[in-house]
Amino acid sequence: MMETVQKMPFGYEPPKDERKGTIVYYDSFEHTTERELDLAAYIAKERLFLKLVLYPLHEQSVKRMTREEVSPFYKREDRLHEWKRDRKEENVVVERLEVKRKKYTPIDSALRHLAETYPKPLFLLMTGEMANLFASFSSFEEWIVKIRLLLTEEPAKLHPRLIQYRHRWEPVINK
């Protein structure tokens, strides 16, 4: 087998890819509007992320975490795929881990899967309520040093761990 030799001018350096990392929108997507999805896509483009991952939670996960009843997973997932198709977003992925498991998935398992699957650095986009919930888990301190949080709104009452790690998260202003 012959290798083709490419000649490069002296001092040539390949262009650096300015896009890096992954932003994961971690939510049930029960009450998420198209405007909020558009905001997530805008943030991903503005901050030059390689991928925007929409991570819808399984009904069992939502029930365990928030005690809230949600519509079936496939309906919420179909809505996300429809939004993606309408916007012609190539860099958007709808994650299917929860559908494969068909049961409650702890946030640790989800984050481990996301960290292994998608390019780093990993940013987690979530509501203020979900961030407070995440901060209440024992594994929060282990994960907050590996990821950064972007909050769709700042919660009225912050969890003490969110206050402690304030430098690892920021609210994203709705425009």
Residue 4: is its pLDDT beyond 70? yes
Apex 147 CA angle, 145 and 148, nearest 5 = 100
Residue 160: is its pLDDT beyond 50? yes
Residue type for position 115: A
pLDDT tens digits, 122-159: 999 999 999 999 999 999 999 999 999 999 988 889 99
Apex 145 CA angle, 139 and 17, nearest 5 = 130
Residue 59: is its pLDDT beyond 80? yes
Residue spans of alpha helices (H) in 105-175: 107-117, 128-135, 140-144, 160-164
pLDDT class for 175, splitting at 50, 70, 90?
Answer: very low
Residue 19: is its pLDDT beyond 80? no
pLDDT for 12 equals: 78
pLDDT for 86 equals: 92
Q: Can you tell me the distance from the alpha carbon of 120 to that of 10, in angstroms, rounded to the nearest whole number?
A: 32
The answer to whether domain 22-171 has CATH 1.20.1440.230 is no
pLDDT tens digits, 79-118: 999 999 998 888 899 998 877 777 777 899 999 999 999 9
